[in-house]
Every structure is written in C-alpha cells, then in structure tokens.
Chains A and B, each alone.
Chain A
Amino acid sequence: MLTVLITGLATGMLFAAVALVYNVMYSTSKVLSVTTGHISMLGGVFGAYAISVLQLHWTLGLLAAVVAGGAFGALTELLAIRRVLNRSDEHLWLLSTLALATMVQQAAGLWWGTEPKPFPRLIPQDFGVGVMDQKFWLPIGMTLLMAIGLELFYKRTMYGKVFMAMSEDAFAAQARGISTDRIRLMSYVLSGALGGLAGFAAGQLTFAFFALGLTLTLNGFIALAVGGLGSNVGAILGGAALGLLNAYASYWFGGEYQQTIAVGLLMIVLLVKPEGLLGDRQVRPV
C-alpha cells in the first residue's frame, strides 16, 4: 500500500520536473515545446550509456545526462524556435518542435534500441528495500532541489531576474538592451540541463527507454496544466496529483486506464479552472 503511494509520488515528481522545464522554456519564449519530454528521455539514455556501457563513474554519467539535455535544449531553441518565432503564423513552433521530437525519438531508437534497458544503481543498495529504494527517492529529491534551485535563481541572481523580465514583457526587455535571443538560448540550455538531470534521477524508475519522450511530454504537460502554467509550485502540486492519481488508479482498476484517468483529470481541471490551480488568468480559450 505504501508502495503505491511512493511510486505515485516518484513518478509524479518526474512529471513535475518536466513541468518545471516547460515553465522555464515558456518564460522566455512563450512556447510550449513538444521536445520537453524527450530531454529527460535523453538524460536517462545517455546516463545509462555512460555508466552501463562505458563503465564510467556515476558522476560522469550525471554529467553526460546534463550535457545531453542542455545540448538538446540548445538544439531545440536554435533549430525549432528561433527561426519560427518571428513568423506571423503562431503555430509553426508546434510543428517544428513536433518534427524535432520525432527525429530525436527515432534517432534514439535506432542508436539505443527499442527495448527499455535497466538503469544502473547509482548508490549501492539492495533491490529488496521496498519503499526506501533510491529509485523513488532520487526523483523526489531531485525535483524538489530543482524547484528550490529555480526559486533561488529567479530571486537572487541577475540572470534569473532577466529571465523574469523577459517573461513579463519581452519587447520592453529588448528595449532595455537585453539580447532576447541569447537569453532565450540560455533558458533552453538551462531547462535542458535540468530536464536531463531529472531523466537521470528517475532512470531507475522509468528504465532507459527511447519512447519515453512522448509520454513525458504529455504527462509533464498535464502536470503543468493542472498546476497552472507559469507556477513552479503548481508544477509540483500538479505532478504530485497526477502521479498519485495514476498510481492509485492502476492499483484499483489496472494499468490500462492510466492514460484515460490522467486525461480525465486534465479535462476536469480545464473545465473548472482553465488556468490551472495556481496559474494566472492568461490562458484564455478561444
């Protein structure tokens, strides 16, 4: 019973981490990228590759995950976002990020294989420890660290304040001499690194699996929408709600209805409070 709770929390925190990544990217580009989930997928895959295949120490595996994530974040910005933002058609970025996401998923499948591969243990631990297993606590701890880190970043550092400025009014920020292109790229690299980190931390829970990207994009988005776009606390709450709902629904009804229930949650929240639990009233439906 406790296992269900802890599993729900752990997967929920992975979803929350993806929601945090969405938030950072959205703040400087006003874009929700389809590649968001794939960043974490790459973190898990590259981490597993570094540790299991290259036999490197887990710290280097962590580094590999962070670098892979950050690099893919940069690629997303440079390729799929930058050139598309100034066109008049608003939804081209949806298409370009969808295209890039497909490409990276297929490439990962071709390189890593289509079978989920086990992720190595980072800290020596028996496999029978139940709820104390690091596969649960690593993602939970990592996501909370990320959220706290982001808060400190936004409130205490210069760059964080610049991010917030861009988020409020990109035009004004540009008028004040901020290179919006460079800041946006930075935010994508930062969020990519965070996403890679999250994927690495959750690797033992999810396994290193090439097709994880799309699932995380969707579930991370549900966590985001439920918690409220733009709110990091909302992301945590939304992720927790989704993760727990999924876990208990699987336990009571079987795993086949997981997706249905997740979307059901999303739809209910959107109907009752379209801007999410803690979001601002800016997401206006047509």
Chain B
Amino acid sequence: MNSLTHTHKAWLLLGGLLIATLPGWAGDQYQLHLASLIAVYWILIAGLNMVVGFTGQLSIGHVGLLCIGSYAFAVLAGKSGWHPALALVASGVLGGVCGLALGLPSLRLPGFYFAMATMAFALIVNDLVLAQVDLTGGGIGLPGPLFPAPFDSPSGFYYLVSLLALGVTWLSWNLGRHMWGRALISIRDNPVAAQSVGVAVFRAKLTVFVFSGVTAGLAGAVFASLQSYITPDTFVFELSLFFFVCIIIGGRGSIIGPFIGTVVLTALPELVAPLAKLGNFFYGLLLLVVVLVVPEGIGRVFDIIRERLRPRVVHREPISPDLARLDRALKYKP
C-alpha cells in the first residue's frame, strides 16, 4: 500500500537494469535458460500470489492450469498451425476458463476441502492428458512450438518472457496497492470483518482465481516453448508445491517477496548440487521451517534483524479526538 521510497526505487532500477541486460552478462546458454525459466515461473506465481498470498486461498493445484496452458499452446500453435501469439492468448483464456470451472464449486469450501479439491484437479488434468492420446500424444507428449523471430533465439525468447513477466508483475502490483489489495487481504485475515465492510467474499475470491488461471495459462504456453517438448510427466504435483512454497517463503501480501522467493528457489538447486538430489525434500523442509519459525515469510526475518539493531521506540500517546475534523469528515459527501 505504501508508495515507493527513494531507496526502493533505486533498488528497482538496479534490478531492472540487471534483468534487461542479462543476456549480456549471463555466463552461458544454460544460465540464460534458467533466467527464462524463472521468468516463466514468475508469470504463473505472480498471479497465484494474488490467490495465495493476498486472499489466503491455499490452492495447491495450479500445475494443472500450467499443464492446460502448455498443451493448449502445443496443440494450437503446433498441430493446428495457429500463429504462436494467437495461441498464447488462447492459452491464457483457456486457463482463465478452467480457473473459473475449478473455482466455482471449490472456493466456497473450507480450507482443507478447498486444498484437496485443487490437488484433485491437478491429478485429474494429468489423467485426462494421458488419456486423450489423439489430442495430446498421451505419454509420448508433444513438441513445444517456437515463437517467430525475433523471439526464436534464446535471448529473444528471454526478452519475450521477461516482458510478459513484467506485465503480470505490473498488474498484480496495481491490484495489491489499491482498494482491491485491501479487500483481498481482509478476506485472508478476517473474512467476517470483510463481509461486514461489504466485501462480496465469494465473488472476489473467484475473480482473483480466474486471474490466476489466465496467468497460469500464459505461463504454460511459454513454458511449453521453453522446454521444447512436454509430456504429462513434466507436470508433476510437486511443481504445484514449488509455486506455493515460493509464495509462502517470500511472504504473503507482498509482490517482491515471492519474486525473490521464485528466483532463489529456482536457482538454488541448480547452484547447490546436493540440494538438487534432495529435490522436493528440500522444499518441504524449507516450508516447514518457515511455517514454524517465521510464518510471515523470510522478509520478516529482515524486519526482526532490523528491530534488533535499531529498536523502534513506540511512543504511546493518548487518544484525543479532533471532533471538528470528525464533524467535517462526516458531512463531506463525495
């Protein structure tokens, strides 16, 4: 909700410059590929962040929407010969529609029921993809089509996904810092209070969920292109868990936190080889530690450290109403 301070702006500028020039300073093709993968994941996670981080809906099935987006793109741009840009848009739309189909029956359910419903959704999508052999190639899978020039080279593709990621980031940042952000957070933290101030809880949840479906669909499309080949095995349930952990670890209610979480958690197993072997055990352990020790996310750790170094003195002043101002405020009818 707070506008950016000068320090924030400086960091963002630096970060932006690094991101924009990455193909120049990245070590090799592999690192460029990794950067593109982070961008692709972030496209999905930025949207999912609104559902999990802001609205508190614990959806662990978004890999299913990613899968739908990927296969939609692979089929439309590949077999059906659509222009990739059109297929990209269609994947996003399909993601949104499936988000609506999933959200309508399940968003009314209490937390655990909802989580199970989303998990079941991911498993069902996997089953259906395996079963519809004619459409999806079954277990064999499908190739992921490339985008036309200038996006067919690795750095060209990197710029494409970075632009998409930037777009989704901007959309979610806007949502988070205006009234919608407050309303979503109220649903997460105190749904009773949210209702009492007039928030239409189910409708808001569904809207955000559909949004996250669209971003997942878009992410799926570019994911298919990046991976060059997709099979049902690409979309394991553990990927859903990974998205989820990025958000929780990054901190709910923020945009930058989950972004850093995504960057770190995608890059870490690549840089620290033993972690790669542990795979999802590491993510599970990390999630457990965060939930038990700093449930607000790693960002909170920095706050705690800052508090220790420079304790903020809280001045207690008595409450003294300014009745004239209150009177004026009540009389003001916009």
Verify that A and B bind, or say they do not.
Answer: yes
| A residues whose Cβ falls under 8 Å from a Cβ of B | 32, 34, 79-80, 83-84, 87, 89-92, 94-96, 98-103, 105-107, 110, 214, 217-218, 221-222, 225, 254, 256-260, 262-263, 266-267, 270-271, 283-286
Secondary structure type dominating chain B contacts? helix
Judging by beta carbons under 8 Å apart, are B131 and A103 in contact?
no
Secondary structure type dominating chain A contacts? helix
Judging by beta carbons under 8 Å apart, are A99 and B111 in contact?
no
Judging by beta carbons under 8 Å apart, are A95 and B287 in contact?
yes
| A217: chain B residues within 8 A (beta carbon) | 116
Instruction: Report Cα–Cα, A79/B288, bound state, in Å.
Output: 9
12 A–B contacts, CB within 8 A, in A order: A79-B292, A98-B287, A103-B284, A106-B280, A106-B281, A225-B113, A256-B130, A256-B131, A259-B123, A260-B128, A263-B121, A286-B108
Q: Known: A99-B284, A106-B280. Contact between A286 and B191, CB under 8 A?
A: yes
| A225: chain B residues within 8 A (beta carbon) | 113
| A90: chain B residues within 8 A (beta carbon) | 111
Least Cβ distance of A19 to chain B in Å?
A: 13
Instruction: Report Cα–Cα, A52/B313, bound state, in Å.
Output: 65
Is B285 interfacial (CB-CB < 8 Å)? yes
Which B-chain residue is minimally distant from A33 (CB atoms)?
B112
Which B-chain residue is minimally distant from A254 (CB atoms)?
B131
Judging by beta carbons under 8 Å apart, are A89 and B120 in contact?
no
Instruction: Report Cα–Cα, A256/B109, bound state, in Å.
Output: 26
Which A-chain residue is minimally distant from B205 (CB atoms)?
A286
| A222: chain B residues within 8 A (beta carbon) | 116, 120
Judging by beta carbons under 8 Å apart, are A214 and B237 in contact?
yes
Judging by beta carbons under 8 Å apart, are A83 and B127 in contact?
no
Least Cβ distance of B123 to chain A in Å?
A: 5
Least Cβ distance of B115 to chain A in Å?
A: 6
Q: Known: A87-B295, A98-B241. Contact between A260 and B127, CB under 8 A?
A: yes
Judging by beta carbons under 8 Å apart, are A32 and B112 in contact?
yes
Judging by beta carbons under 8 Å apart, are A258 and B284 in contact?
no
Judging by beta carbons under 8 Å apart, are A94 and B112 in contact?
yes
**Interface-central residue, A80, A217, A266, by most chain B CB under 10 Å:** A266
Which A-chain residue is minimally distant from B190 (CB atoms)?
A88
Judging by beta carbons under 8 Å apart, are B116 and A218 in contact?
yes
Least Cβ distance of B45 to chain A in Å?
A: 16
